[in-house]
Chain A
Amino acid sequence: MRAATWTGVNEVSVETVPDPTLLNDHDIIVKVRKTTSCGSDLHLLGGYIPFMRAGDVLGHEFMGDVVEVGRAVRERKVGDRVVVNSFIACGTCWYCKQELYSLCDNGNPNPGITEGLWGQSPGGCFGYSHALGGFAGSHAEYIRVPYGDVGAFVVPEEVSDLRALFASDAVSTGWMGAELAGTKPGDTVAVWGAGGVGQMAARAAMLLGAERVLVIDRLPERLAQVREHVGAEVIDYSTTDVMAELRELTGGRGPDVCIEAVGMEAHSPGVHGTYDQVKQQLRLQTDRPSAVREAIMACRKGGSLFVLGVFAAAVDKFPIGAMMNKGLTVRGAQVHGQRFTPRILEHMARGELTTEHLATHVMPLEQAPRGYQMFKDKEDGCVRAVFEP
Chain B
Amino acid sequence: MPRAYTPKIVTANDLLEGDVIYLTADDRWSRRMAEAELITDEAHAQLRLLDAERQTDRVVGAYLADAQAGESGPEPTHFREDFRRRGPSNYRHGKQETAPQPRA
Asked if A pairs with B, the answer is no
Interface residues of B (CB under 8 A from A): none
Interface residues of A (CB under 8 A from B): none
